[in-house]
Amino acid sequence: MKNSQKNQKGGTLLEAAITLMLFFTLIFGVLEFGRAYNLYQAITNAAREGARYSVAPFPGTNNLPSNGNVQARVQQYLDSVGARNTTVTVVQSTTGTVNGVDVVYTNVNVTAPYTFLFFPYGSVTMQTTAQMRNETSP
């Protein structure tokens, strides 16, 4: 009878070890996904902020910010949320005319590397784009 109890204690210990390993893997996976989603939201918001800034003229004028100004604004936003090693590209393109006015769209593309903290997968490049139509009139 005594030998049977020792086997049960070993089985319980093994079950606890496997359960804890699965539990901590799940917890770390949730934390990792949360960090990745947070970075994705930050770069998406930065791209939107850049597109919004790019298409609205300066107050009282019809002058739009330059691509360099937009990149600086987006980079400032990314720095404020702690996103590092990001790449920002701004492209303005004319798609045609409406009532004699050129229709110009601004695309702001932001890429950022995401490095896994808990899992040994290296890094993944996240990318997002925001597009808005310029709001100037002749």
Query: What are the residue ranges spanned by the domains of the chain?
Result: 2-133
DSSP strands (E only) in the chain: 87-98, 101-115, 123-133
pLDDT at 21: 94
Per-residue CA distances from 34 to 65, 73, 94, 129 (Å): 34, 26, 38, 21
Tell me the pLDDT tens digit for each residue of 16-57.
Answer: 999 999 999 999 999 999 999 999 999 999 999 999 999 888
For residue 71, what pLDDT is reported? 95
Q: Residue 105: beta bridge partners?
A: 93, 133
- Asked if the model's pLDDT at residue 7 lies above 60, the reply is no
Q: Which two tokens stand for residue 64?
A: 């739009």
